[in-house]
Amino acid sequence: MADGDNEVDVLILGAGSGGYACALRAAQLGLSVALVEQSKLGGTCLHVGCIPTKALLHAAEIADATREAESFGVLAKYDGVDAAGVLAYADGVVSRLFKGLTGLVKSRGIRVVEGRGTLTGSHEVTVEGADGTVTLTGRNVVLATGSTPRLIPGIEIDGTRVLTSDDALRLDRVPRSAIVLGGGVIGCEFASVWRSFGTEVTIVEALPRLLPPEDAASSAALERAFRKRGITSRTGTSVTGVTTSDEDGGGVVVTLSDDTELRADVLLVAVGRGPRTEGLGYEEQGVTLDRGFVTVDDHCRTGVDGVWAVGDIVPGLQLAHRGFQQGIYVAEQIGGLDPRPIDERGIPRVTYSRPEVASVGLTEEQAKEQYGDDGVATLTYDLAGNGRSQILRTQGFVKLVREVDGPVVGVHLVGERVGELIGEAQLVYGWEAHPDDVAPLVHAHPTQHEALGEAFLALAGKPLHTHS
């Protein structure tokens, strides 16, 4: 291959959500693109993150529905969970999406280079693959190498009894009992799945509540719901020691900061994900790192001219859709467009547990820090007043946070399937809408979207199904 074929307009290191989105948009804008990936197109989200996790959560929903079917007048028998069958189902979903993505990338004329890429020059990536070594150059380089499960010093991962989230996704059995270290999104989702499959689950979280970044009301509602489901939450508690045991079939013993001991079949270490930047040549080429994360400005530019960074390696929310949007944003800047900067507060957040927790914008606490205690008004609408929620037998609420005499700056949701409502909530936030702007909108009946409509009616001073 001629040397000129190894020089492109956009050279992307990493083919996860941020990387492939950048590649697709750049190619759409007529730019030549090379995409370097050590594993598979789609990255963490498609293969060991969002997609397989949500497939497990759907299987868990079916398990719960089968177990509870008689209360709806449906005769069904729950005989347990076939772990291998669940994995096969999840693998099938991933395989179909991977095939579709591979075909899409190929159809756009994007060159995919398989192998481990290292930044060996400010605009140069050297790739070591099965077929040898190749050096690529790009007029623009986009760093999108994603993240890995964060580990805790002193806790040894063995993949069978002490697990990362990657290991948990491949577990070929349903554990009788599990300790989940970390009450964030990953920990709560796995706790929810395992409990639906019949596992006795205890969550250990060092901070005072589950889902610490969410509104305090949402955290409290999730903890109550988990408690009713039989999930134990030990918040404000840290782990001081972990040992594995071969007695009684093997398992783990976890010592807590209050000197109590917990025993279970498995321990899931779910304390977040760290940036995958070590040993990739970033700092050697002048890219500034802060605790492993790539330092960028509001436009995803690093301190090296023509070098950009997107996704989980950039400080902020580690969400696939954030990386996806950043990838598009960078491609459009490179393509000479003037895209609107991404509002980090406007990125929707969803925890797909049972019940789901979804939000966009500021929490009540954050709003009060910004506008003062007297500058914020809130309203909470209970899903008990929503017909569709009654049909689904879900409990939860819609909580609106607004600047007094100003727009709605935060929307927080708890309940089954409320993640499907976050799109409207995001539009309201991005629109900087006042309650009076949203109140006249017509919401289909019976839907959970009506709960949003009712909440905005009440906040606008026109409550129908709530007391004024």
The residues assigned a catalytic role are: 445
> 220: part of which helix (H) or strand (E)?
helix 216-229
145 is in an annotated binding site: yes
Q: Is 102 annotated as a binding residue?
A: no
φ, ψ at 309 (rounded to 5°) = -145, 140
Residue 63, phi then psi, degrees to nearest 5 = -60, -45
328 is in an annotated binding site: no
d(CA 45, CA 324): 11
- 316 annotated as belonging to a binding site for a ligand: no
* Residue 184 is labelled as binding a ligand: yes
Cα 388 from Cα 373, distance rounded (Å)? 34
> Are 21 and 323 a contacting pair, CB within 8 Å?
yes
Q: Are 367 and 403 in contact (CB under 8 A)?
A: yes
Does residue 52 have a cis peptide bond before it, meaning omega lies within 30 degrees of 0? no
Q: Is 400 helix (H, G, I), strand (E, B) or coil?
A: strand
In Å, how far from its chain's centre is CA 67?
28
What is the phi/psi pair of residue 215, to 5°? -60, 140
Does the annotation place 49 within a ligand binding site?
Answer: no
Whether 330 has a binding-site annotation, put simply, is no
Annotated binding-site residue? 219: no
Question: In which region does residue 198 sit, left (phi positive, over 0), alpha (psi from -120 to 50) or beta (all else)?
Answer: left
Does 189 show up as a binding residue in the annotation? yes
Task: Classify 160 as helix, strand or coil.
Answer: coil
CA distance 428 to 409: 9
Residue 12 marked as a ligand binder: no
In the chain, the N- to C-terminal Cα span, in Å, equals: 73
Question: Is residue 54 marked as binding?
Answer: yes
121 is an annotated ligand-binding site residue: no
Rounded CA-CA distance 163/182 in Å is 12
70 annotated among ligand-binding-site residues:
no
- Residues of each annotated binding site for NAD(+): 182-189, 205, 272
Residues at the annotated binding site? 54, 117, 145-147, 182-189, 205, 272, 312
Binding residues for FAD: 54, 117, 145-147, 312
